[in-house]
Structure 1
Amino acid sequence: MSWFAAVRAGYGAGLLFAPDLIVTLGTGHRPDPRTTAVARVLGARHLVQAAGTAGTPGRAVLALGAEADLVHGASMLLLAAWDRTRARTARTDAAAALSFALAGALLARHAPSTPQRPPRGGGVLASAAAWREAAAARLGRWLLPASLRQARD
């Protein structure tokens, strides 16, 4: 597992399994029940995204993840402006999401545009990695800026 996926998985696990602790450490305030529930959902999202970026993901996978984090961070900034009672928590979460977006975008710019092919007979994990790259490349044709798109052969 890459350092990036490991950090994301740790953050996601913390939000999922100890949301009150993570939110309290991040904001200085104990969360209300709704904030705790949302933190758990976001923790699950981070775990899924960590699994999707584990191993050696290609440019499209990392760039799509960065876009998801960017949208999440922007939505938290909007929440902070709209709901004053949750503003501190929303700004803290926006900072985390935008940090993941920046790291993902930087990693995407340096990732190979065409991921390495899995070895023959690599089994289920190699097939899953190949499927992940193909799906990200297809989605990226619609969603990603041209500078981060997977190169077409």
Structure 2
Amino acid sequence: MTRKTLILIAAGGSALLMLGALGFQYIGQMPPCKLCYWQRYPHIAAIAIGLVALWLPGRLLPGAGALAALTTAGIGFYHTGVERKWWLGPESCSSQPITGLSTDDLLSQIMTAPVVRCDEPPFVLLGLSMASWNVVASMLLALIWLQALRKS
């Protein structure tokens, strides 16, 4: 395969994973936790890197794409450990800035807000949570990025 084809596959894989995450969020009504959001950022970076790498030669961008894929895999592994109770996750798994609310409005918002916990996977397939599947997919994408790097 050519360098461009490998980059398209790797960046496209991140795009598909992002579409899947958004589908679970908006169609499946499974709001993401804090760690889920953290896993998305490197995929977004990999997509952007892929778009630029299609037009610019060199080894830097495929290397950066591989790093982005390995980063999201690492965050996914951390998230998997939190879900499996191997270690503790962040103290607050979902928070938003609070501005301009009265005490009564704030209490009402707190009481009606859905709690999204990092240690409870909302979906499991073949014994693996979405975070675990992200690790598997992202490691494969990292290998594709490294193959593109080798072709550079």
- Tell me the TM-score normalized by structure 2: 0.52
The CA deviation at 1:20 is 4.8
Distance 1:109 1:18, change over 3 A: closer
SS of equivalent to 1:64: helix
Task: Point out where structure 1 has 5 or more consecutive residues left out of the alignment.
Answer: 25-29, 112-153
- Structure 2 counterparts to residues 31-110 of structure 1, below 5 A: 32-34=30-32, 38=37, 44-55=44-55, 57-84=57-84, 85-86=120-121, 88-110=129-151
Counterpart selection for 1:3 from 2, 5, 23 = 5
2:43 and 2:149 mapped to 1: Cα distance? Answer: 23
Contact residue 70 and residue 97 of structure 1 kept, 8 A? yes
| CA deviation vs aligned residue, 1:59-110 (integer Å, no higher than 9, x gap) | 1221122122112211211110112423611111111211111111122123
How many equivalent residue pairs? 105
| Structure with larger RCO (C-alpha < 8 A, sep 6+) | 2
Task: Point out where structure 2 has 5 or more consecutive residues left out of the alignment.
Answer: 85-119, 122-127
- Structure 2 counterparts to residues 128-139 of structure 1, below 5 A: none
Distance 1:99 1:57, change over 3 A: farther
More helix as a share of residues: 1
Q: CA RMSD in A?
A: 3.3
The CA deviation at 1:19 is 3.4
Specify the code of the residue in structure 2 equivalent to 1:83.
E
SS of equivalent to 1:2: helix
Specify the code of the residue in structure 2 equivalent to 1:7.
I
